[in-house]
Amino acid sequence: MRRTELENGFVICSMNDEFREALPQFYVDVFTEIDGPVDQMLGIWAGDLLSPHHPTVTDDDVWMVIDPAQDNRILSALLLIPQIWHYEAVKLGVGRIELVATHREYRNRGFTRQLMEIAHQRSAELGHTLQAITGIPHFYRQFGYTMAVKLGPDTLLPFSGVKDNDQPQYTLRPAALADIPCLMQWYNTYAQQVLLSVERTEKQWAHEITTRPMGIPPSVHYFIIENRQAEGVGYCGIRDFSDAAELEILEYVVGDKASYLDTFDDVAWAAKQYASEKDSHLSYMVFDSGIHPTVSTLVRKSPGGITNRPTYAWYIRAASVAHLIQKIAPVLERRLQGSGAHHYTGQVKFAFHDKTGLLINFEGGKLIDASDIEQDFRGADGAFPWHSFLNLVLGHHTLDDLRAVFPDAYANKTAAVLLEILFPRKQAWVMGQL
């Protein structure tokens, strides 16, 4: 166990068996006080993350502020979920910070800031390029984060718009351990079509299907989509913990034996039937923003279907933007090939309006070097405030999008051409689970 003494007798320490039951109860106490009984579920989630069976979280990834004078009472806590994200074919280590909480009477003492610093240090120790949070609005910007990846559903279909079908061509059955090879193949094939995705190992799939307690916020019920010959053609993941009147289709992937056009009506019908059996108050289904765009078209053409709803977003932090750029260099070089800046040679400098910036050197279309630099906006080829450069890199916004919100975001002729080529808007498929 790691341990650091603070002022006033408080202590920061990592997880050990003494706190394995106390920490989930701490989260129940804090979040129930804030949001009501719905967040009783967070205690179960915390227990799952602290379990020795969890595929990625270890005791060194969980940190607390405790008071030895009160029998080691937990005052504040957070945890880090190590993940691997894919930027197209490039793997990026990501530290996902979650369950940040402090007892009401101990807030405004700097505990969260100290714990965030430790989480960032731990993430760096693990070799992570990025940190990510699905946190409350605005709060985490003070720690160097920007909201730069879509999070949540953007498509809605009321149950009244789902066709009745008592003779479906495709049906759903619960996924089992024996289905994991097919699930991994379908998942990985679709992940190659998007900009961002989360790597999911066989161990993680097994945890999702057999180990994770149902009814907690990240839990998903996985189903195999079968044709009339009982062949699996794809899968979907349904999440129904929300206190809203919605059933969330978090994942919906079809392999090469069928299509979204073939399966959509039957999958929607099966989801509606599942909802009616689970909870009568549910009245519509929503689809995650990372699901194949054909599904959005099918929803839009269904009675009452709504697409392009505003979503929430992941908070993203890059301790070194230059390191991120170097990691994704193979993708950037491929995008330059045959583009309007084919074989580009030169350097481009960006300012971030906080006396820091980024220098990228290219030679013959190859990224030679990227450096974090001191840079005033004067003399820069482009400038981006409030870490919004990450919104470009992660395909969430275009230069024109940012210009519409930030008048102090700009790019000269060379930078504008390069940004358009290097960082096109592209779909992300990063769900808030595991």
For 144, the 3-state DSSP assignment is coil
Binned at pLDDT 50, 70 and 90, residue 40 comes out as low
All structural domains of the chain with their residue ranges: 3-149, 153-301, 320-427
Burial of 333 (C-beta count, 10 Å sphere; 0-12/13-18/19+)? middle
Mean pLDDT is lowest, of 20-34, 182-196, 358-372, 401-415, for 20-34
Domains 3-149 and 153-301 share a fold: yes
Band (pLDDT 50/70/90 cuts) for residue 36 is low
pLDDT of residue 41: 76
Amino acid letter at 22? A
Query: Can you give the pLDDT at residue 45?
Result: 87
Give the mean pLDDT of 342-352.
Answer: 98
**pLDDT of res. 274:** 92
Q: How far apart are CA 399 and CA 80, in angstroms?
A: 32
CATH of 3-149, one of 3.40.50.620, 3.20.20.80, 2.60.40.10, 3.40.630.30: 3.40.630.30
| Confidence grade of residue 52 (pLDDT, cut at 50, 70, 90) | confident
| Half-sphere exposure for 61 (CA within 13 Å, toward CB) | 24
Q: Is residue 420 pLDDT above 80, yes or no?
A: yes
At the top level of CATH, which class does the domain 320-427 belong to? alpha beta
Coil vs helix vs strand at 279: coil
- Residue whose C-alpha is closest to residue 1's, from 76, 75, 61: 61
Q: What pLDDT score does 434 carry?
A: 54
Tell me the average pLDDT across 44-58: 91
What DSSP state is assigned to residue 211? Answer: I
Is the pLDDT assigned to residue 39 strictly greater than 70? no
Task: Show the tokens assigned to 154.
Answer: 């953007």
Q: What is the pTM of this model?
A: 0.95
Q: What's the pLDDT tens digit per position in 70-97? A: 999 999 999 999 999 999 999 999 999 9
* Most confident among 2-16, 54-68, 232-246, 270-284 (mean pLDDT): 54-68
Q: According to the model, what pLDDT value does residue 35 have? A: 61
306-312: average pLDDT:
95
pLDDT at 243: 61
% of the chain surpassing 70 pLDDT? 94
Q: What average pLDDT score do residues 402-425 get?
A: 98
CA dist., res. 269 & res. 318, Å (int): 42
- CATH architecture for residues 153-301: 3-Layer(aba) Sandwich (3.40)
pLDDT in tens, 127-147: 999 999 999 999 999 999 999
Write out pLDDT tens, residues 135-180: 999 999 999 999 999 999 999 999 999 988 889 999 999 999 999 9
Query: Where does residue 10 fall: left (phi above 0), alpha (psi -120 to 50 degrees), or beta otherwise?
Result: beta
Q: Is 168 helix (H, G, I), strand (E, B) or coil?
A: coil
